[in-house]
């Protein structure tokens, strides 16, 4: 590649222009940003002459970083990226890397992706243990929820929780707080509002997405099934959806958490009924044995939060 100086000499014999170019080169190389970037590199004058454009680009981009206006207003050619000078094949080039703000944004995005949800209100996903009501009735439930969140070991320990309580006592908020604590430990969780999820699974048979959706839920590191028992049950949902999910998670030691207005016995009775009107106690009992064996029953007491 011709140097900038050589090319310009062909265009003009203006000595003043040559002097200005010389002075600009000298000023550029005296810039601490450029000087420090070149320190230790075996750079000859020819390499410098041919790489001036790259050095000017480096200087401008790094000066932008020195007076950073924030990621949203980043003036660099690639927003959120800053250049480093590299020497390759006896030529100067630039290699771009994420700046600290960009890395923080990417980490935050990855963190948000650790909490997946289906049909769960946004305020539930924002719940934290610090924001939970500290009343006496929920103290034991909050303590057990926090203990699970800080000690969960998906793949090694499949033990979960079963939160039972009346409508509106804060069971789902506890699950949201668990999900956020797990996120901080880089553990993926999936919060599912069970009635709507089961309805979607019926529809997915027609659009060919059934296996993809059930696999996604089966394989989540921690699965939270919210409001189980509120759905209209069918033999297919009980055996081929819920049963298949729980069987896989039991074998892989992946914790499953539940919230319900039904206790264990009431949920078993609910699962025994099918939409065809029959009673299948044995099949319901098989499902409940998996739930009972791999969860700790927790009663959530207190006033109805939604009536405030």
89 and 237 part of one domain: no
Of 218 and 18, more confident: 218
**Averaged pLDDT for residues 189-214:** 88
Instruction: Find where tokens 């000023």 sit.
Output: 27
Of 10 and 268, more confident: 268
Written as six digits, the tokens of 8 are 């310009």
Q: What is the pLDDT of residues 271-285, one digit of tens each?
A: 998 766 667 889 999
Give the residue among 269, 213, 215, 208 at the shortest CA–CA distance from 238. Answer: 269
Helix (H) or strand (E) holding 236: helix 235-236
156 and 268 part of one domain: yes
10 and 77 part of one domain: yes
83 and 59 part of one domain: yes
What is the domain extent for residue 123?
114-307
Distance in angstroms (rounded) separating the CA atoms of residues 276 and 233: 10
18 and 57 part of one domain: yes
The total number of residues shown for the chain amounts to 308
**Residues contacting residue 165 through CB under 8 Å, at least 6 positions apart:** 141, 171, 259, 261, 299, 300, 301, 302
* Residue 274 within a domain: yes
Instruction: Find where tokens 């979960």 sit.
Output: 160
DSSP code string of 78-98: STTEEEEEEEETTEEEEEEEE
97 and 178 part of one domain: no
Of 261 and 45, more confident: 261
Single residue among 72, 102, 132 that ends a domain in this structure: 102
| Per-residue confidence (pLDDT) for residue 44, from 0 to 100 | 84
Of 112 and 162, more confident: 162
What is the rounded average pLDDT for all residues in the chain? 85
19 and 91 part of one domain: yes
182 and 96 part of one domain: no
Q: Is the pLDDT of residue 134 over 60?
A: yes
Single residue among 33, 68, 102 that ends a domain in this structure: 102
* Residue 24 within a domain: yes
Distance in angstroms (rounded) separating the CA atoms of residues 79 and 120: 33
Q: What is the pLDDT of residues 14-36, one digit of tens each?
A: 567 677 777 777 888 888 888 88
Single residue among 73, 102, 131 that ends a domain in this structure: 102
| Per-residue confidence (pLDDT) for residue 128, from 0 to 100 | 87
Distance in angstroms (rounded) separating the CA atoms of residues 231 and 201: 12
Q: What is the pLDDT of residues 160-173, one digit of tens each?
A: 999 999 987 889 99
* Residue 42 within a domain: yes
DSSP state of 102: H
Q: What is the pLDDT of residues 220-259, one digit of tens each?
A: 999 999 999 998 888 899 999 999 999 999 999 999 999 9
Give the residue among 115, 259, 295, 111 at the shortest CA–CA distance from 173. Answer: 259
148 and 97 part of one domain: no
Distance in angstroms (rounded) separating the CA atoms of residues 172 and 220: 18
**Overall domain count for the chain:** 2
**Averaged pLDDT for residues 280-302:** 93
Q: What is the three-class DSSP state of 258?
A: strand
52 and 189 part of one domain: no
% of residues, the chain, pLDDT over 70: 88
Q: What is the pLDDT of residues 74-96, one digit of tens each?
A: 999 889 899 998 888 888 889 99
CATH code of the domain in which 189 resides: 3.40.50.300
Distance in angstroms (rounded) separating the CA atoms of residues 214 and 219: 9
* Residue 218 within a domain: yes
pTM above 0.75, yes or no: no
227 and 120 part of one domain: yes
| Per-residue confidence (pLDDT) for residue 164, from 0 to 100 | 96
* Residue 109 within a domain: no
Written as six digits, the tokens of 268 are 């078993």
For 41, how many CA atoms within 13 A lie in the half-sphere containing its CB? 21
Written as six digits, the tokens of 105 are 């944004």
170 and 140 part of one domain: yes
Instruction: Give the phi and the psi of residue 152 in degrees, each rounded to 5.
Output: -60, 140
Distance in angstroms (rounded) separating the CA atoms of residues 136 and 143: 11
Instruction: Find where tokens 């919210």 sit.
Output: 226
Q: Is the pLDDT of residue 262 over 50?
A: yes
CB 105, CB 60: distance < 8 Å:
no
What Cα–Cα distance (Å) separates residue 261 from each residue in 32, 161, 165, 230, 264? Answer: 67, 14, 5, 8, 10
């Amino acid at each position: 590649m011709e140097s900038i100086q050589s090319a310009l000499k062909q265009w003009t014999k203006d000595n003043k222009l040559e002097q200005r170019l010389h002075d600009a080169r000298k000023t550029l190389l005296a810039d601490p940003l450029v000087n420090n970037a070149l320190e230790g590199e075996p750079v000859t004058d020819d390499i410098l002459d041919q790489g001036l454009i790259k050095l000017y680009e480096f200087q401008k981009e790094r000066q932008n970083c020195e007076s950073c206006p924030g990621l949203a207003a980043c003036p660099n050619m690639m927003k959120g990226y800053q250049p480093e000078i590299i020497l390759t094949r006896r030529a100067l080039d630039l290699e771009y890397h994420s700046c600290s703000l960009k890395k923080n944004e990417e980490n935050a995005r990855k963190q948000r992706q650790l909490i997946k949800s289906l049909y769960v209100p946004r305020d539930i996903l924002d719940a934290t243990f610090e924001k939970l009501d500290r009343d006496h009735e929920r103290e034991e439930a909050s303590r057990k929820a926090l203990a699970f969140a800080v000690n969960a070991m998906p793949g090694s320990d499949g033990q979960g929780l079963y939160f039972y309580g009346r409508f509106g006592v804060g069971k789902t908020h506890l699950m949201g707080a668990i999900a956020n604590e797990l996120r901080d430990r880089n553990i993926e969780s999936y919060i599912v509002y069970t009635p709507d999820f089961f309805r979607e699974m019926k529809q997915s048979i027609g659009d060919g997405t059934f296996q993809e959706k059930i696999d996604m839920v089966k394989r989540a590191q921690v699965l939270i099934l919210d409001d189980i028992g509120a759905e209209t049950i069918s033999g297919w949902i009980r055996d081929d959806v819920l049963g298949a999910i729980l069987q896989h998670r039991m074998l892989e030691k992946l914790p499953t958490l539940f919230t319900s207005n039904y206790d264990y016995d009431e949920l078993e009775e609910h699962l025994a009924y099918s939409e065809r009107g029959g009673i299948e106690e044995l099949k319901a009992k098989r499902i409940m044995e998996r739930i009972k064996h791999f969860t700790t029953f927790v009663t959530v007491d207190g006033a109805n939060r939604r009536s405030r």
